[in-house]
């Protein structure tokens, strides 16, 4: 790990270790990594975007009422 990262903050050590674990587990399928990561993005089609915006505006209104 010292060869890859020069300074590691101990409060974030678990993130570095999880990144190394991810790379190790994917070493035999590295050519599939990009497709797997981009395939995990949520759907941002126009109808879905409108649904998210409506939900967001309702959430903001509820937060204003709660104050």
> Does a structural domain hold residue 52?
yes
Domain contains 3 = no
Domain for residue 16, yes or no?
Answer: yes
Contacts of 48 (CB under 8 A, 6+ apart): 42
Look at residue 46 and tell me if it is in a domain.
yes
Q: Give the span between the Cα atoms of 67 and 60, in whole angstroms.
A: 11
In a domain, 1, yes or no: no
24-41 confidence digits (pLDDT tens): 988 898 888 888 888 888
Summarize pLDDT for 39-63 with one digit per residue, the tens.
Answer: 888 878 888 888 888 888 777 776 7
Is 5 a domain residue?
no
Asked if the structure places residue 4 within a domain, the reply is no
Domain that holds residue 16: 10-66
Answer yes or no: is 2 within a domain.
no
Yes or no: say if 16 and 5 are a contact pair by the CB < 8 Å rule.
yes
pLDDT recorded at residue 42: 80
Domain count, the chain: 1
Alpha-carbon dihedral 54, 59, 60, 65, rounded to 10 degrees: 130
């Amino acid at each position: 790990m010292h060869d890859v990262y020069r300074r590691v903050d101990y409060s974030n050590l678990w993130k570095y270790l999880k990144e190394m674990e991810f790379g190790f587990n994917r070493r035999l399928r590295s050519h599939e990594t990009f497709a797997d990561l981009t395939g995990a993005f949520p759907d941002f089609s126009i109808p879905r975007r409108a649904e998210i915006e409506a939900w967001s505006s309702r959430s903001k209104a509820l937060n204003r009422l709660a104050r």
